[in-house]
Amino acid sequence: MLAPELLGGRYEMRGVLGRGGMAEVRDAWDTAAGRPVAIKLLYPGYDTHPDYLRRFWAEAEAAAALNHPNIVAVYDRGLHRGAPYLVMQRLSGRSLADLIAQGPVRQEYVRTMLTEVLSALAAAHAAGILHRDIKPANILLGEDGHVKVADFGLAKGLDTYRTETGQIMGTMAYMSPERLTGRAATVSDDLYAVGVVGHEALTGRRAFPQENLVALARAITEEPPPPVAVQRPDIDPQLAAIVDRAMTSEEPARFPSAAAMLAELADVSGDPVTGPIPIPPAPPPATPPAAGPSVIVVPQPVLVRRRSWQLVALVAVAVAVVVGLVVGALAFFLGASSQREQPPPVVTTVTSTPPVTTTAPAPPEVPPRRGYG
C-alpha cells in the first residue's frame, strides 16, 4: 500500500478539531519533529480570495512575531498544492466557550483567565499588534491549566490599523460601541472585549444575547448590560468592578492599557488559581473505537421501551380477542338453552265462591306457511 500524502512533505493529517468562518483546524502529526500539531487550512475557494489570503498570512506573521506562553505558537507555514496552511501548537481542542456552556465559571478561574489573556495582549500591544477578535472561542484551554489566545487572523499593527471604508471586522457581540460606529480599532477595543468575555464567564450568559444584528448593535451602543453584581451578587465586588469598568460604553472610563487592568486584577483579594482549569470532556466519538467491531450501536433503553410497548399492545389485543370469544360463546349457549326450555303452563287463580282453578290450554299448533304473503 502507498503511504498517505503528507502535507508539506511532513504533516500527517487526521480529524477535524474545529471550524471557523473561513478555515478549519485539523489534528495532525509532525513526522519530522515527532509531535502532535494543529493545522489551519482555508476552505476551498477562500484560498484564492485576496482578502482572506491577506488575513491568513497576517495571522502567521503576527503570531510568529510573538513569543509568549499565553499565545498559541505558530511553528510553520507554507503552501501545499497551492493551498496555504499554518502549523500551530496542538492544544486540547477545548475553549473557554465550551467551559461557559456548562454554566458560570468560578470567579477564581475567571480571575486567572483574565490575567493570562491580558498578559498575552500586553505583549501583543507592546509589539504593536492588536488582536481585534477577542472572544471565548479564541481563548483555548491548555492541558496544563493555562489559557492561550488564538486566531490573530484579524490582527493589525497599531500604526496601520485602519480598514477599508465602512468595513468592520470581528465578532459583533464583543465589539466596542466605537468600532460599531466605524472608528478604527485601538487598544481600548481589545480591553473592552476582555471585559465582555469576563462578564460572560462570570454570569454564564452572553452580555448581549440579541440575535438580530440591528438589535445587537443598538444594545451595545445604547443599552449596556446590568452590572455583574446584579446577576451574581456572590462575586467579589472588586473583580466585578474591574469587569464592569472594562466594558463600559464610555471609552475614557475604561482602562488605558492591558498593564493597568492587570495591576487592578493583582489587587483582587484571594490567591489566583495555580492548578489546572477544568477542561470540559470532549464529546463522544461519532463512530465506535477502531479496535471494536464495526457495528451501529442502538441506544438500548430506547429499544427496550419500544419492545415493551409492542409486547403490551400484542398481549392486550390477544386478551381482548379471547374475552370476546368467551363472551360470545357464553351468549350463544345461554340463548340456545333458553329457547329449548319451554315455559310451564300458565295457571291463573280466580277468587270466587267456591274458588275455581283453570288451566289455560296450550295454543294450537299452526302449520308453517310456504311462500310470501
Q: CB neighbours (10 Å) of residue 276?
A: 13
Confidence category of residue 314, pLDDT binned at 50, 70, 90: very low
pLDDT tens-digit readout, 185-209: 889 999 999 999 999 999 999 999 9
* pLDDT at 299 > cutoff 80: no
In the chain, what are the domains? 1-90 (3.30.200.20), 93-162+169-280 (1.10.510.10)
- Does the pTM surpass 0.85? The reply is no
Q: CB neighbours (10 Å) of residue 165?
A: 6
Which whole-number Å values give the CA distances from 189 to 178, 196, 204, in the listed order?
8, 11, 22
**Type and span of the H or E element at 192:** helix 187-203
* pLDDT at 255 > cutoff 70: yes
- Mean pLDDT, rounded, for 1-25: 82
Q: Is 131 helix (H, G, I), strand (E, B) or coil?
A: coil
- Mean pLDDT, rounded, for 120-134: 90
Give dist(CA 327, CA 153) in Å, integer: 81
Q: Is 138 helix (H, G, I), strand (E, B) or coil?
A: helix
- Quote the pLDDT of residue 290: 36
- Mean pLDDT, rounded, for 350-356: 43
Q: In this structure, what C-alpha cell is assigned to residue 51?
A: 482578502
Is 47 an annotated catalytic residue?
no
- Quote the pLDDT of residue 329: 54
Catalytic residue among 30, 47, 76, 133: 133
- Mean pLDDT, rounded, for 30-36: 94
**Residue 84 CB contacts under 8 Å (≥ 6 apart), including other chains:** 41, 42, 47, 53, 56, 57, 77, 78
pLDDT tens-digit readout, 141-191: 988 878 999 877 555 544 443 343 334 445 889 999 998 988 888 899 999
Q: In this structure, what C-alpha cell is assigned to residue 90?
A: 496542538
